[in-house]
């Protein structure tokens, strides 16, 4: 009887592997400013909560909005000028007494205006993009840490806040290289409970610190609590 029990324990150990890992959000985003300017709004009330189409940070964009308004006016004016110059060119083409040079000069006026209009469209797109980047809105992400306050001045590359995706959790373990293949088809138990979770990713390059191991990621759907230690077993 003692022999059978010992054999059972040996087989259980031989065919199961046990690891521990902290359950973390599947993705963490370090949000940096891509533009320069003064912070006019910093939503410290959303810090530590999940955002739902919520404004987190806004950078002053008064100058860009004013400039965009002027650019739009210029585009409208130039469009009218192009229409007039094109009509003049069409009329000039029908006048036989006008030389080709005169006609080319008139055509050149239209082409120059078209070029100016194209440059203004590029300016418009650029300003619109800058204005958009100065208002940061988050949806379905947990706002973990806001690093700037109202009246701070930021430049491109300044860290504004951290956001986390809590829809899934990730367990990261380091498995000895010679054991990895044997775990692929095993059942995963978390804190002693059987699951239908599978290994998400195996990094088949030895880790810089765990030199004899591969990093293995396990994705956990809809976890309720994060940053707790989880016992992971493969059986």
198 plus 106 within the same structural domain: no
199 plus 214 within the same structural domain: yes
Using CA atoms, how far apart are residues 145 and 150, in angstroms rounded to an integer? 15
Using CA atoms, how far apart are residues 113 and 83, in angstroms rounded to an integer? 10
207 plus 228 within the same structural domain: yes
More confident residue, 103 or 73: 73
110 plus 165 within the same structural domain: no
Q: Which domain holds residue 219?
A: 16-59+139-234
In the structure, what pLDDT confidence band is assigned to residue 16 with cuts at 50, 70 and 90? low
36 plus 123 within the same structural domain: no
Q: Final residue of a domain: which of 133, 167, 190? A: 133
Q: Is residue 5 one of the residues assigned to a domain? A: no
In the structure, what pLDDT confidence band is assigned to residue 13 with cuts at 50, 70 and 90? very low
109 plus 174 within the same structural domain: no
**pTM of the shown model:** 0.78
pLDDT at 12 over 70: no
Q: Is the dihedral angle over the CA atoms 106, 111, 117, 119 positive or is it negative?
A: negative
Q: Is residue 6 one of the residues assigned to a domain? A: no
202 plus 119 within the same structural domain: no
pLDDT at 156 over 50: yes
Pairing between β-strand 159-176 and β-strand 188-190 as defined by DSSP bridges: unpaired
Domain count of the chain? 2
What pLDDT, on the 0 to 100 scale, is given for residue 10? 38
69 plus 55 within the same structural domain: no
Q: Final residue of a domain: which of 133, 148, 165? A: 133
158 plus 224 within the same structural domain: yes
43 plus 72 within the same structural domain: no
* Average pLDDT of the segment spanning 155-166: 97
Q: Final residue of a domain: which of 116, 133, 150? A: 133
* Average pLDDT of the segment spanning 217-234: 94
In the structure, what pLDDT confidence band is assigned to residue 45 with cuts at 50, 70 and 90? very high
CB 142 within 8 A of CB 47: no
Cα 232–chain centre separation? 30
pLDDT at 42 over 60: yes
Using CA atoms, how far apart are residues 36 and 130, in angstroms rounded to an integer? 10
In the structure, what pLDDT confidence band is assigned to residue 20 with cuts at 50, 70 and 90? very high
Using CA atoms, how far apart are residues 94 and 88, in angstroms rounded to an integer? 10
């Amino acid at each position: 009887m003692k022999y059978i029990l010992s054999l059972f324990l040996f087989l259980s150990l031989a065919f199961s592997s046990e690891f521990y890992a902290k359950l973390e959000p599947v993705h963490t985003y370090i949000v940096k400013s891509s533009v320069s300017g003064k912070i006019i709004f910093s939503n410290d009330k959303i810090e530590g909560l999940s955002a739902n189409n919520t404004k987190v940070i806004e950078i002053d964009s008064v100058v860009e909005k004013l400039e965009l308004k002027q650019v739009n006016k210029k585009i409208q004016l130039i469009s009218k000028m192009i229409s007039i110059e094109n009509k003049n060119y069409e009329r000039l083409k029908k006048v036989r007494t006008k030389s080709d040079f005169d006609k080319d000069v008139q055509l050149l006026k239209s082409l120059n205006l078209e070029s100016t209009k194209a440059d203004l469209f590029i300016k418009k797109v650029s300003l619109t993009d800058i204005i958009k980047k100065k208002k940061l809105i988050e949806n379905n992400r947990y706002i973990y840490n806001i690093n700037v306050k109202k009246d701070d001045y930021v430049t491109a590359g300044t860290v504004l806040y951290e956001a986390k995706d809590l829809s899934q959790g990730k367990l990261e373990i380091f498995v000895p290289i010679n054991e990895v293949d044997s775990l692929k088809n095993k059942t995963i138990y978390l804190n002693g409970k059987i699951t239908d979770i599978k290994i998400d990713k195996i990094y088949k390059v030895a880790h810089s610190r765990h030199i004899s191991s591969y990093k293995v990621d396990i994705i956990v759907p809809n976890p309720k609590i994060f940053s707790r230690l989880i016992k992971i077993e493969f059986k």
